[in-house]
Amino acid sequence: MKFLPPGLVAAPFTPFQSDGSLHLAAIPRLAASLVRNGVVGAFVCGTTGEGVSLTSSERRQVAEAWKATLPAGLKLIVHVGHLSLGESCDLARHAQEIGADAIATIAPSFFKPAGLEELVLWTKQVAAAAPRLPFYYYHMPSMTGVRLTATQYLTRASESIPNLAGVKFTDEDIPDFTAAHTFAADRYDVLFGRDELLLTGLDCGATGAVGSTYNYAAPLYRRLIQARQGEDRATAERSQAEARAFIDVMLRHGGLPAGKAMMKLIGLDCGPVRLPLRNLTRGAEAALRADLERLGFFGYASAA
């Protein structure tokens, strides 16, 4: 069952206080910013949201806070992936109880599924814990080490998971994305998850995308999408190049911790990251700002 409307889905950062505790009061501003910038959904407690660094209780609190403040027009997808199948199912049930719009789970990454059958059995149980909600498989082999393709998963899971909505595809294997998209046709969403390759994803048929940089640079990506739809290839390619340039800066300055610092720089302070991630020093944050200013980043990235 296809679920999401076309557009950008942000993967929000989980806001923390300076002592590392949850800062749930910051969530309404984050949600309002996404709507103002034309984002259609929020994928919470995923990689960007440091979901695996939260306790299950904290993840429930984050999901509840997002649901309580969810503006009209913004869909809530709750990531419920966990190394424990029981915990993942409990989180899925909770997401359904609070009225989330959909759930997703990544593959277990310590004891990994030995093959396709085990992966589908695992996700089938998670999906069955919230049978009224659309279910997405979060395909991210670079983090899980589970190298089964998204196409393999969709082909097999479509036979046994009635509430399957599709795949969140976070990988660079474009042939696999294309094959998965072809198989999905009008039945499933294959949400593209590499912001630095969005234009390529669109060229291969993507209509929806999930990413961390849509938290602060959605206007740039919307320009890219509109240019491509209007057959203005030059503007689309230029916009993608701008995105790739600031993503390179973000990665050079530490990746996710730098991304969280960028939220602070645009006026949406989400606090620190949790160990084992390391926060940027004041000097590193100043260097990040200087690099972003040279790129013109603050001309299109804002909390407005």
Annotated catalytic residue within 137, 138, 153, 300? 138
Catalytic annotation present for 138: yes
High-pLDDT (> 90) share of the chain, %: 95
pLDDT digits (tens, 9 = 90+) for 10-59: 999 999 999 999 999 999 999 999 999 999 999 999 999 999 999 999 99
2 in catalytic set: no
Q: How confident is the model over 64-86, as a mean pLDDT?
A: 96
Task: Say what the pLDDT of residue 5 is.
Answer: 75
The Cα–Cα gap between 210 and 43 comes to: 8
The answer, yes or no, to whether residue 3 has pLDDT greater than 80, is no
Residue 78 has pLDDT above 60, yes or no: yes
Residue 303 has pLDDT above 90, yes or no: no
Q: Which of 136, 153, 168, 188 is catalytic?
A: 168
User: Is 156 within 8 Å of 148 (Cβ atoms)?
Assistant: no
304 pLDDT band, cuts 50/70/90, is low
Let me know: does 267 contact 301? Beta carbons within 8 Å. Answer: no
Q: Is the pLDDT of residue 133 over 60?
A: yes
Q: Is the pLDDT at 186 greater than 60, yes or no?
A: yes
Over residues 200-248, the pLDDT tens digits come to 999 999 999 999 999 999 999 999 999 999 999 999 999 999 999 999 9
Q: What is the pTM of this model?
A: 0.95
